[in-house]
Structure 1
Amino acid sequence: MKNITHTGVSSTPTMLDRTEQAHCTVCCCTLANKILMVLFMVLLIFATLFGNLVTLAVVLGTKHFHTPQGYLKASLAVADLAVGIFVVPLSVYAEVYLMVTDSAPEWTSYNSQSVSFHPCNIIGPIFAGCTLVSITTIFFLTIERSIAVLRPLHKDSVITRKRTTILIVLSWVGSFFLAVCPIVFSSEIALEYNSCSRMCNYALGTIGKFPSQAWNILLLFPAFDFTLLGGTVVINIISLSSIRQHSRRRKHLAESESQSTTKPTFSDIKAAKTIGTLTVAFTVSFTPIAVFVVGNVLGNKWCNFSFFAFWILATNSCWNVIIYSVRDQKFRLRAQKLLMPFHRKNTTKT
């Protein structure tokens, strides 16, 4: 059975083939590797939950962040939070069960077409949907920042909280619609727990041949992901180029000149650079998946690489709060107050 990633096609073996493999994967060759893998997954859960809960607390609990940009950051945090709550814990359960009992859970040996209920029927679309939501949200953040930088006078009239809320709802609905499309519109596609990636992936029930209908449906993922991410990178380049030109002009123009009223504010520039950093981080984490898809199309299995590709993408769920803390001083100060509730009292006493 061939395995399908949420962004493309994989021919890596399923959990059913675990005992038939002549070689072991890098994450499970020895007991030490298995323990390190589970420890990594557990730490990732805590990092994802902690970081994104802090982000939500700062954004939702601070009036300063009740802006279109803040709403988009909250949406991104919820998508990342879902990965830490649903996706990674299932992998931890499967791998701990395998270590303790020396046999995999029964459901990992079958795909979703073979049993009435399969956990991957829920977890697979959640991971795919949340990844699509993240890409869409970063695209919206980039658009919002580009308008603030390139058209500062039109920012407040074009970017409103109502419009942003509508876009957020549409992004969630559209992303999860795409995530369930493969299993809804094709009887050839199922979901399974893959022994290489250690995650729930889309899989084809036909051996050695791609059904044309399933192929066309699965192309929705890479087409959507790569087009949106590519557009995001281009828009960020345009915005950052404009910021660079603005910085050069500022050296030659007095602050009192009339042109200063049409320039983006310092906070808008800082926010644009933050979103640029966010885009770079997501692009770096998503690139291994892109390479993996291309390799699969060319007929390469890359079992070990699939593990790293998927889990590098999963680690992106805990990076956003670090980027905000480094790039956004107001976010950092607010987060410090939340994490150190007695700091202000001690400062007042001294």
Structure 2
Amino acid sequence: MEILYQQNITVQYCFPDNNASCRKEVRTGPAYMFLFIFLSCVSVFTVFLNLLVIISISHFKQLHTPTNLLILSLAVADLLVGLFVMPVNIMLFIDSCWYFGKLACSVYSVVNNLSTAVSVCNLIFISIDRYIAISDPLLYSSRITVCKISACIILSWSFCLMYMIILMHFNELLSPSQMSFRCYGECVIYVKHSWVIANLVFSFLGPCSVILVLYSLIFKMARRQAKAVRAVINAASHKQGDNVSSSSETKAAKTLSIVIFVYLACWIPFSLSSLSVESLTSSSMVWTVFIWLIYMNSSVNPLIYGIFYQWFRESVTYIVTCRIFESSSSRLLLLPEHV
């Protein structure tokens, strides 16, 4: 379905000297200016928060743990979204023309899909990491090491890059000479419906199933552990035990609910809409809205996996006050006992 804008749009041509040029739609007016400012703020916000996470984990040696390496990898993927993908989409939203050629369009498509795919992979690894930490806390440090997590991160980035290249190759989107355009000056991605189904399974249904199963198991084990702690504490103080277990269960429920809700809220509209049509185009306004919901997940991830940690709040204080430039600042202890 093609959406025609009849208000606040000046129809021009992307390349007036080229007869095959696309029509240029420059969207103006208060509504579009508000959206431009809002989306620009989201992009800056995404870059800023993820940079704080990256600097914190990279600089302070105390934070060089397996779990934090996964958070670092997630922040790098989300940083690509805020630094590269979001600005390009904002530009295309205001000015529909693509001025950088077919090769740049291919590169942009790879980076766009790679960043979102890696972000999902990191969410899965974080779920697995937390499951092992709760199910087998005594052997966690020996089973999950920095070297093993680093290898997993490298493999996940490599796998996602290979998957994106294969997907784009079979959709004839990788080679600029093979890419088909309706007119000169567009960067619109057309995906075959068979690959939409495959991508839906690998990028949504599979990861979503793993995350939901692992988090449900984590929640059950957290409740069992809370009951065990309550039984021990009740021997000394019945009242205190009720407070501790209740607080533990409530905190676990809130954290898991936020993770699951944000992930599903960002991906379900996009995934369901991909099944409603046989040929998909990134130029659709509805499609653009669903794509931006996924991008918003990159803005929320550092809030979920960063700001909820005390070490992140402590590290931000050092970064904002420029105390990280002091000698031996990397060896500072952000927490009395790092967890």
Question: How does the TM-score come out when normalised to structure 2?
Answer: 0.73
Q: Measure, in 2, the Cα distance between the counterparts of 1:188 and 1:63.
A: 42
Q: Measure, in 1, the Cα distance between the counterparts of 2:92 and 2:81.
A: 16
1:152 Cα deviation (Å)? 1.1
The code of the aligned residue for 1:156 comes to: S
Q: Measure, in 2, the Cα distance between the counterparts of 1:338 and 1:270.
A: 28
The code of the aligned residue for 2:97 comes to: P
Question: 2:274 aligns to what SS in structure 1?
Answer: helix
User: Are 2:72 and 1:74 aligned?
Assistant: yes
Partner of residue 203 from structure 1, selected from 169, 185, 190 = 190
Instruction: Please name the residue that 1:253 is paired with.
Output: 232
1:317 Cα deviation (Å)? 1.2
Q: Measure, in 2, the Cα distance between the counterparts of 1:293 and 1:332.
A: 39
Instruction: Please name the residue that 2:220 is paired with.
Output: 241
Q: Could you tell me which runs of 5 or more consecutive residues in structure 1 were left unpaired when the two chains were aligned.
A: 1-11, 99-103, 109-114, 205-213, 258-265, 343-350
Q: Measure, in 2, the Cα distance between the counterparts of 1:308 and 1:44.
A: 14
The code of the aligned residue for 1:131 comes to: T
Q: 1:314 to 1:141 in 2, by over 3 A?
A: same
Instruction: Please name the residue that 2:141 is paired with.
Output: 156
Q: Measure, in 2, the Cα distance between the counterparts of 1:200 and 1:161.
A: 40
1:134 Cα deviation (Å)? 0.8
1:304 Cα deviation (Å)? 4.2
Instruction: Please name the residue that 2:239 is paired with.
Output: none
Which stretch of structure 1 is more off in the superposition, 175-184 or 239-248?
175-184
| Preserved contact between residue 120 and residue 191 of structure 1 (Cα < 8 Å) | no
User: Are 2:334 and 1:334 aligned?
Assistant: no
1:303 Cα deviation (Å)? 4.3
1:78 Cα deviation (Å)? 0.5
Instruction: Please name the residue that 2:274 is paired with.
Output: 293
User: Are 2:301 and 1:316 aligned?
Assistant: no
Per-residue CA shift, 1:112-146, capped at 9, x if unaligned?
xxx6x343211112111111101111100110110
Question: How does the TM-score come out when normalised to structure 1?
Answer: 0.71
Q: 1:43 to 1:185 in 2, by over 3 A?
A: same
Q: Could you tell me which runs of 5 or more consecutive residues in structure 2 were left unpaired when the two chains were aligned.
A: 9-25, 237-246, 324-339
The code of the aligned residue for 1:233 comes to: L
1:177-188 correspondence to structure 2 within 5 Å: 177-187=162-172
Q: Measure, in 1, the Cα distance between the counterparts of 2:146 and 2:36.
A: 41
Instruction: Please name the residue that 1:134 is paired with.
Output: 119
Instruction: Please name the residue that 2:38 is paired with.
Output: 40
1:302 Cα deviation (Å)? 11
The code of the aligned residue for 2:274 comes to: V
Instruction: Please name the residue that 1:219 is paired with.
Output: 197
Q: Measure, in 2, the Cα distance between the counterparts of 1:59 and 1:270.
A: 24
1:216 Cα deviation (Å)? 3.7
Q: 1:232 to 1:182 in 2, by over 3 A?
A: same
Q: 1:252 to 1:298 in 2, by over 3 A?
A: farther
1:202 Cα deviation (Å)? 2.9
Partner of residue 305 from structure 1, selected from 273, 286, 290 = 286
| RCO comparison, higher one (Cα < 8 Å, 6+) | 1
The code of the aligned residue for 1:284 comes to: A
1:91 Cα deviation (Å)? 2.2
| Preserved contact between residue 219 and residue 252 of structure 2 (Cα < 8 Å) | no
Per-residue CA shift, 1:270-314, capped at 9, x if unaligned?
799757643432222112212222333599x99443222111111
Per-residue CA shift, 1:155-205, capped at 9, x if unaligned?
1121111111111011111112122223323438877999xxxx965305x
| Preserved contact between residue 43 and residue 83 of structure 2 (Cα < 8 Å) | yes
Q: Measure, in 2, the Cα distance between the counterparts of 1:281 and 1:332.
A: 22
Q: Measure, in 2, the Cα distance between the counterparts of 1:107 and 1:292.
A: 29
Per-residue CA shift, 1:208-238, capped at 9, x if unaligned?
xxxxxx4444433111112112211110111
Q: Measure, in 1, the Cα distance between the counterparts of 2:322 and 2:53.
A: 16
Q: Measure, in 2, the Cα distance between the counterparts of 1:147 and 1:193.
A: 48
| Preserved contact between residue 192 and residue 202 of structure 1 (Cα < 8 Å) | no
Let me know the Cα RMSD of the aligned residues: 3.8
Q: Measure, in 2, the Cα distance between the counterparts of 1:273 and 1:334.
A: 24
